Copies of this chain bind each other. A is one copy, B any other.
Amino acid sequence: MNNDIDFEGYTCPIPIKPKDTVVLGHGSGGKLSHDLINRLFLPEFGKAAPRALDDSAIVNINGQRLALTTDSHVVSPLFFPGGDIGRLAICGTVNDLAMVGAKPIALTCGFVIEEGLSFEILQRVVQSMRDSAAEAGVYIAAGDTKVVQKGSADKLFINTAGIGFVESDVNISGANAQVDDVVIISGTLGDHGIAVMSAREGLNFETDLQSDVAPLNHLIAAMMNAGEIHVLRDPTRGGLATTLNEIAIQSNLTIELQETALPVKPQVHAACEMLGFDPLYVANEGKLVAFVKPENAENILLAMRQTKYGEGAAIIGKVIKTNSPQVRLRTAIGGTRLIDMLPGEMLPRIC
C-alpha cells in the first residue's frame, strides 16, 4: 500500500484573530474569516500554499488528480425564494469542486438535526438535494445523521463534502491571474443574499427576487471547451468584493472593475439601498467570476450565454500590474475607489 500520494497545497476556504472568542464575523467569508484561517487553521493543519485559498484542494492519488472540498450549511430560514438548505448544500459543494476545473463525481452529506424537526421538512430538504444532485450529475455516496436536543441547534445544519476528477492538463487557481486578463461575471450580483434576507423573520420586505442557487459545473464545462481559463471562483459569502481581493492576493496583481459594467437587478439595488448594503458584498450562490486572456474572452462569453446559468455573462473588468495587490472600482462618474474585503459580518447565516 505504498501509493503515490501528493497534495497540491492545503485549502481552507473560510475562517482567527487573537480575540477572546469567536464572533459572527469569523464566519462571514471576509477579513475575520481569513484571519481565522491564517492564524489558527493553517498553522496547525498545513502550510500556506498557492491553493490555500482555492475552493477545493487537489490530491494526487496514484497519478490521478482528485479535487476535495467541504462546506457546512446553516442558512436561516431553511426555505427561501428560489431555494432551500438542501439545494444550497448540493450546489455549494458541486461549485467548489467545479471552480478548480474538476468534474464533480460524488458527495457525502452529514445532517445535524434539532430534536423536534418535522419529517415533512426533512423530506422536502432531502428531495431538493436529490433533484439538485441529479441536475448536477453527481452521486450522493455516503451520509450521516446526528440528532441534538431541542435548543442545541437551530433546526437543521447540513455538511456536504465532495470529490471530483481533475484532468491532468487543467490548472485553474486563484493564483493564476495574469496582467491583461479579462474579468467575466456569469450574471447578476447579490440575488441570493437579498432573497434570503427577504424571507427572514422580522425583516420581510416585498420582492419577487429569487435566489440564484444553482450548480455551475455544466456552465464551467462549456467554458473550458471554449477556451483556456486562468481563474474561476464563486463569489459566495463576502460577495464579489471579497472574492476578487482573495484572487488579487493569491496572484499578487490588481483588479480593476468598471462600476457601470456590474450587473445588478433593480430589486437587489432597491433592497441594498434600503438595508444599507453594497451588492459587491452580498452573497451569490449561482454565479462565478472567471479570468481569461483577452483573445479568449469573446469565445468564452458566447459559450456562457448559451447555458442556463450563464445567460447574463458580462465583462466587468481587467487585471493590471501595480506594486501591491488590490481591487479598484472605476466609478460611473470617472473616479476610482479601493474595494476591500468584507470587514466584519453583514448577513449572518446566509449559506
Residues on A facing B (Cβ under 8 Å): 1, 3, 5, 7, 10-16, 18-28, 33, 36-37, 40-41, 44-46, 56-57, 59, 61-62, 64, 66, 68-74, 76, 103, 105-106, 108-119, 122-123, 126-127, 129-130, 133, 139-149, 151-154, 157, 159, 161, 163, 165, 167, 221, 348-349
A111 CB contacts on chain B under 8 angstroms:
15, 72
User: Beyond A1-B221, A44-B129, is A348–B147 a contact (Cβ under 8 Å)?
Assistant: yes
A71 to chain B: which residues have CB within 8 Å? 110, 144
Which of B13, B133, B140, B157 is close to A143, meaning CB atoms less than 8 Å apart? Answer: B13
CB–CB B12/A163 < 8 A: no
A118 to B23, CA, bound (A): 10
Q: How far is the CA of A223 from the CA of B328 in the complex (A)?
A: 60
CA gap between A12 and B146 in the complex, in Å: 12
Closest 7 CB pairs of A and B: A27-B147, A161-B161, A15-B145, A70-B108, A159-B159, A72-B110, A57-B141
CA gap between A71 and B144 in the complex, in Å: 6
Known A-B contacts A57-B142, A130-B44; the reply to A116 vs B68 at CB < 8 A is: no
Distance in angstroms between the alpha carbons of A25 and B139 in the assembled complex:
28
Whether the pair B11, A118 counts as a contact (CB closer than 8 A) is no
Whether the pair B40, A119 counts as a contact (CB closer than 8 A) is yes
CA distance A284 to B172 in the complex (A): 43
- With A20-B119, A165-B3 as known contacts, state yes or no: A142 contacts B56, CB within 8 Å: yes
Q: Which residue of B lies closest to A12 (CB)?
A: B143
Knowing A105-B5, A140-B46 are in contact, say whether A152-B149 is a contact too (CB < 8 A): no
Chain B residues lying within 8 Å of A109, measured Cβ to Cβ, are 70
Contact of A119 among B11, B22, B167 (CB under 8 A): B22
CA distance A3 to B167 in the complex (A): 10
**Complex interface: chain B residues within 8 A of A41 (CB):** 126, 143, 145
Cβ distance A101 to chain B, nearest Cβ, rounded Å: 10
Docked complex Cα distance between A333 and B64 (Å):
57
Pick from A18, A27, A59, A64 the residue with the most CB of B within 10 Å. Answer: A27
- Taking each of A19, A59, A127, A142, which has the highest tally of chain B beta carbons within 10 Å of its own beta carbon? A142
Known: A7-B139, A110-B161. A44 touches B146 (CB 8 A): no
Contacts of A68 in B (CB 8 A): 106, 108, 141-142, 163
Least CB distance, A141 to chain B, in whole angstroms: 4
User: Do A141 and B105 contact each other (CB < 8 Å), given the known contacts A23-B147, A117-B22?
Assistant: no
